[in-house]
Amino acid sequence: MKITIKDVAREANVSIATVSRVLNGTGKVNKKTKEQVLKAVKKLGYKTSTIPLAQDLKIIGILVPDLFAYHYSEIIEGATETLRKNGYGSIIATFNGRILEEEVAIEYFFTRRVYGVIVCTSEEDDEKLRRLLDIAIPVVTVDRENTDFRFDSVNIDNYLGGKMVAKYLLSKGHKKFLHITGDIDLYSIRYRRDGFKYQIEKSGGRVNVLESSFTTGTTYKKLKEYIRKNGVDFTAIFTSDDLIALETLKVLYDEGIKVPDDVSVMGFDDGYMAQFSIPPLTTVKQPRKEMGKMAARLLIDRLNPEKRNSVVRKMMMSLEIVERESVKNIER
């Protein structure tokens, strides 16, 4: 006889909704009730239908450079959510930008026979990834520069993102810009810069580029130096991401430069803190969670034998500008 959630509820003397809250970790349940439910689950040997036993668990490997701040974490969150709903578990490996470790992680996924791999990573690993394909382990890449290898992929159009920001700021009357970059060895950061510069210069505007990095504190220091040396030779700043924008806001505050009255600031990402900065940040929403979900969906499709030979799919997720209070129209 199959044990159902009803049996657990009866045994624990609580409602079905309560059992569900405890097992799914949604909503609040007091500690005593929680214990009752877990006791009943254990006693009856209940297993939910969506979560298989570990030995039957189909595992997907997810490889990311790091877990700093929100970027890869939110991609992972989206991916694991969709995988779980489809009966897959996931394990994550990071490689902190070290190429050899990235190879080891891929090898590890390979030797432990994962069902598929989601890779958010650099461009030097084509050959290793191809080995996975050769032995029919499906690979989906996320946020990774396109190459001629035939992987399914999920990306945003970073070049277009840069152009969108440029058009938005130009429409507010700005003509002199400072662009502050993150780590320039990331293709996404170069593309944002190039799209931005292209659009501004095409319209007769001027962009100075300040090469910074995502390491906390770098932008604060570099922007202070820049202003000391050049003064405020811009009316708007575009930063590679929101964390750099936050450091930028702090520099301007410390220098007595008002945002957006004296200088406009625009970020990129719409990270979880962008709405609570002072002032709230106008930025570009990058759908990280959706990117993860889409990657999982592409991978699950590949794991369906009927779909295995379909064409390679390159998904471009759309971007949208989120208007808050850090950009001023200076035409009026």
- What is the contact mask toward its own copies in residues 253 to 272, using x (rule: CB under 8 A)? x------------------x
* CB of 255 closer than 8 Å to CB of 262: no
CB burial class (10 A; 0-12, 13-18, 19+) of residue 187? middle
Q: How far apart are the C-alpha atoms of 45 and 243, rounded to whole Å?
A: 47
For the sheet with 206-211, list strands across it.
Answer: 206-211, 176-181, 236-239, 264-266
Tell whether residue 17 is a contact of its own copies (CB under 8 A). no
Tell whether residue 47 is a contact of its own copies (CB under 8 A). yes
Q: How far apart are the C-alpha atoms of 56 and 189, rounded to whole Å?
A: 41
Tell whether residue 147 is a contact of its own copies (CB under 8 A). no
According to DSSP H, which parts of the chain are helical?
5-12, 16-24, 31-44, 71-85, 99-111, 126-134, 158-171, 187-202, 218-230, 242-254, 288-303
CB-nearer residue toward its own copies: 26 or 203: 26
CB-nearer residue toward its own copies: 253 or 316: 253
- What is the contact mask toward its own copies in residues 157 to 196, using x (rule: CB under 8 A)? ----------------------------x-----------
CB-nearer residue toward its own copies: 118 or 164: 118
* CB of 301 closer than 8 Å to CB of 293: no
Q: How far apart are the C-alpha atoms of 170 and 162, rounded to whole Å?
A: 12
Binders of its own copies in range 59-118 (CB under 8 A): 59, 66-70, 73, 76-77, 80, 84, 89-94, 96-101, 104-105, 107-108, 110-112
CA angle 84, 85, 87 (to 5 degrees): 60
Of the candidate residues 134, 148, 204, 217, the single one contacting its own copies (CB under 8 A): 217
- What is the contact mask toward its own copies in residues 273 to 312, using x (rule: CB under 8 A)? x-xxxx-x--------------------------------
Single-letter amino acid code for the residue at 255: E
Handedness of CA 83, 85, 89, 90 (dihedral sign): positive
CB-nearer residue toward its own copies: 154 or 274: 274
* The pair of three-digit structure tokens given for residue 311, joined into one six-digit string: 């064409």
Piece of 16-24, 144-152, 224-232, 291-299 that binds its own copies (CB under 8 A): 16-24
> Interface with its own copies by CB under 8 A: which residues?
22-25, 28, 31, 34-35, 38, 42, 47-48, 51-55, 57, 59, 66-70, 73, 76-77, 80, 84, 89-94, 96-101, 104-105, 107-108, 110-112, 124, 127, 185, 216-217, 220, 243, 246-247, 249-250, 253, 272-273, 275-278, 280
